[in-house]
Amino acid sequence: MKVAIVDDEEDMRQSVSQWLALSGFDTETYPTAEDALKEIGADWPGVVISDIRMPGMDGMAFLKRLMGLDSGLPVIMITGHGDVPMAVEAMRLGAMDFMEKPFSPDRMTELAKRATQARRTTLDNRALRRDLAKGEKVIGKLIGTSEPMERLREDVLDLSQADGHVLIDGETGSGKTLVAHALHATGPRAGKKFVMVSCAAFTEEALAAKLFGPVEEGGLPLVEEARGGTLCLEDVEALSQPLQARLLQFINDQGTPAETRIVAICNTHGEGKTVEDALRPDLYYRLAALKITLPPLRARGEDVLTLFNRMSEQFADEYGCDVPEVTAQEAAQLLQAPWPGNVRQLINVAERAVLQSRRGSGSIASLLMADDEDTGPAAITTEGKPLKEYVESFEKMLIDNTMRRHKGSIAAVMEELCLPRRTLNEKMAKYGLQRSDYL
């Protein structure tokens, strides 16, 4: 925390600065308010001590400018004899306190101490709110209301608060990287660095230098860059045995709780081998102290339609065209598709659906069939579902799309879907749709 001392009298600036420096404060002095305003802005890490009577911009005008920049900035005013009413007015405008000349150095030190403590608390709370907002934004990207997704979000929020290292497993395209970001953004390390590296993208020698050093042309190795935060190792199964030994040594040297958290992402799922096969046992059990396995898209039910709608809207907005209409037959095809590429594949299909709709040709079915030719399996899941589930999923999607298009206008939705108000209300309640979400 810095203490900015603003006074046109040099002797006063220097005496206040010297006394506070002897008391352990980091001081900066300015002869005019204009000079101080060049340095002080919102979230400035310090407090201000300012004289009231100064040439040019006086202390009251200076205070108003500071409060406009950051109303949480502690400002202590220095007043001369007879300026007490002005100082009281300054406190009404937002000043923390005032000192009347001649003032006690001990009182000045005590006020500076209180002010810096208050400022530190304010800035810490702001940082916490930003971190929480960031965490909420990231966790909000884990879209879906299915039971597997509800459970996944709960797991992320629970494990984000723990100290142990985490292993994330799941099929390709299922969102493992997003979960890694969510673990960091919703936990106590959110204000620290999140450093990610793909272990499969480098040769063994290059990866060793990148992780542990020495780094060419200066800079820090990743284990140092991520210190205190999160080091995310993507494709962890690609680590060579020597690098696994060095990583294990790094983990052991940290002790418990670990200063730097390791989040390892495994991409061997469904390939006939496991991460246990690829990693030495002692490293595996350290990395898998906590484990998250992501559900495949085909197991997430109507989340498929929710995701497809969301992605279609985003791409339609990006390309400046209408969202393509999804028929009941196409909705059923989307629900029955095996999605070997999971969410990543669905995003690709949604973008192509928007592009072909803009051209006025093609269908979702043709896109799914084209994917089948590339991936092999037929476009039907192995687990069948009752017709009622497909109908309900389509109905929910249709109401959701219409509500979005009409920005929550119940009358417009009733007219387009030919539904009486009571029926529409009942169906919205059944599917958990709320008008306020569309306004």
pLDDT digit string (tens) for 252-308? 998 888 889 999 999 865 556 678 888 999 999 999 989 999 999 989 988 898 899
pLDDT at 318: 86
**Residue 426 above 80 pLDDT?**
yes
Last residue of a domain, one of 275, 294, 313: 294
Helix, strand, or coil (residue 45): coil
Residue 103's pLDDT is 85
Q: Is the pLDDT of residue 380 over 50?
A: no
Choosing from 272, 294, 316, the residue where a domain stops is 294
Q: Same structural domain for residues 85 and 210?
A: no
Q: Which domain holds residue 48?
A: 2-124
Of the CA atoms within 13 Å of residue 193, those in its CB half-sphere come to: 12
The structure's pTM equals 0.62
| CA distances for 400 relative to 49, 305, 311, 435, angstroms | 56, 10, 14, 10
Q: Domain check: are 249 and 174 in the same one?
A: yes
377, part of any domain: no
Distances, alpha carbon 427 to alpha carbons 393, 399, 408, 431, 434, in Å: 12, 9, 15, 6, 11
370 assigned to some structural domain: no
Write the CA distances from 313 to 136, 326, 351, 368, integer angstroms.
Answer: 21, 12, 10, 19
**Are 223 and 303 in the same domain?**
no
- What is the total residue count of the chain? 439
Residue with more model confidence, 217 or 373? 217
Query: CA-based diameter of the chain, in Å?
Result: 89
| Domain end marker among 94, 124, 154 | 124
Q: Are residues 280 and 154 in the same domain?
A: yes
Residue 132 lies in a domain: no
pLDDT score, position 374: 54
pLDDT in tens, 113-165: 999 988 988 887 777 667 656 666 777 788 888 899 999 999 998 999 888 99
Q: Residue 351 sits in a domain of what CATH number?
A: 1.10.8.60
Same-domain pairing of 253 and 351: no
**Residues whose CB is less than 8 angstroms from the CB of residue 384 and which lie 6 or more positions away in sequence, other chains included:** none
Residues 23 and 99 placed together within one structural domain of the fold: yes
Same domain, 152 and 268: yes
Residue 99 lies in a domain: yes
Q: Is there a contact between 48 and 40 (Cβ–Cβ < 8 Å)?
A: yes
Q: Which of 202-216, 234-248, 260-274, 418-432 has the highest mean pLDDT?
A: 234-248
In a domain, 129, yes or no: no
Q: Is residue 272 part of a domain?
A: yes
In 3D, which of 339, 313, 320 has the Cα closest to residue 397? Answer: 313
* 115 and 198 co-located in one domain: no
For residue 338, which amino acid is it? Answer: P
Q: Return the minimum-mean-pLDDT range out of 93-97, 201-205, 332-336, 349-353.
A: 332-336
Residue 134 lies in a domain: no
Q: What pLDDT, on the 0 to 100 scale, is given for residue 382?
A: 38
**151 and 117 in one domain?**
no
Evaluate whether 210 touches 180 at the Cβ level (below 8 Å).
Answer: no
Picking from 171, 138, 144, the residue whose alpha carbon sits closest to that of residue 300 is 144
DSSP 188: T
| Structure-token pair, residue 373 | 């030719």
Question: Is residue 326 located within the same domain as residue 285?
Answer: no
Residue 128 confidence (pLDDT) = 62
153 within some domain: yes
Q: How far apart are CA 434 and CA 420, in angstroms?
A: 17
Number of domains making up the chain: 4
Q: What is the CATH number of the domain that holds 10?
A: 3.40.50.2300
Check residue 346 and give its pLDDT.
92
Same domain, 243 and 155: yes
Cα–Cα distance measured from residue 322 to residue 356, given in angstroms and rounded to the nearest whole number: 11
178 and 231: one domain?
yes
5 residue type, one letter? I
Strand 166-169 relative to strand 261-265: parallel, antiparallel, unpaired? parallel
- Say which CATH number the domain at 257 has: 3.40.50.300
- Cα–Cα distance for residue pair 317/79, rounded to 1 Å: 58
